[in-house]
Amino acid sequence: MTFSIATLRSLDEYTFVHSLNVSVLALVIGVESGLGRKGLIELGVGALLHDVGKAIVPVNLLNKPDELTDQEMAIMKLHTIEGFQILRSQPGVSLLSAHVAFQHHERMDGLGYPRGLTGDEIHCYARMTAVADVMDALTAPRPYRRGLLPDQARNLVASLGGSHLDGVYVSILVNRVSVFPAGTVVRLASGEVGIIARQSPSDPARPVVRVLSDQSLQPVAPYELPLDRSPDKSIAELLHDLPDTLRSRSARIPSRD
């Protein structure tokens, strides 16, 4: 196991962080689906290591900004088979966890790879992980595309339920995951910067934002803006941190629920 996680991190930071996110999201689905302790461990290990087979894919291919050629795509697809081979040979790793690596790019409609399995032919752990994988991958900026906002990713994942992804697991994740967690720093389309204060019960995609700055990033007396009741306002961007002009003020923000 230690070997596999170290291998994962050495691939590139994106794959490592993505894998952690996928395992958390897959476990949300697993818990909601009623998996027991053993099942959750098998799922969590499989989801955490689902991309470990990318160890055989050259890094310049993983991060290639342009579309992959057919030949490059064929190499990329091998990460499923390679991941299966790596995990099945690890003592202590369940064969079902290894199948998550093997099957996480299969699709419900049979258009996935490496074997073109359909529906229930795909193990439920792999179907759960596929939903988590797509959800997290869509939000991450990559060299070949910008990341979507979480609510946009959520809508896109919802549209893939039934054809590409398992519709039941899609519904679970879409309904359970907070697309804009409290504490997230956001910039509104109108330019103001604020922090997500809490969710709106009526619409998870339009939370309550505690606005901290005006459009010029100058501090204002903080106020709460419920986006579900402000149709002319919307979130344009997630920020990694507060702008410098707001740093001192952030220390006085009470902790959120």
> What residues line the site for Fe ion (CB under 5 A)?
51
As measured in angstroms, the least distance from the Cβ of 145 to Fe ion is 16
Cβ nearer to Fe ion, comparing 136 with 192: 136
As measured in angstroms, the least distance from the Cβ of 115 to Fe ion is 14
Cβ nearer to Fe ion, comparing 117 with 197: 117
> What residue is closest to Fe ion based on CB?
51
The residues, ordered by sequence, that sit 6+ positions from 224 with a Cβ below 8 Å of its Cβ are 197, 208, 209, 210, 211
As measured in angstroms, the least distance from the Cβ of 24 to Fe ion is 17
Cβ nearer to Fe ion, comparing 27 with 208: 27
φ, ψ of residue 221 to 5 degrees: the values are -60, 120
Cβ nearer to Fe ion, comparing 9 with 38: 9
The pairing of beta strand 219-226 with beta strand 208-213: antiparallel
As measured in angstroms, the least distance from the Cβ of 101 to Fe ion is 8
As measured in angstroms, the least distance from the Cβ of 48 to Fe ion is 13
Cβ nearer to Fe ion, comparing 77 with 198: 77
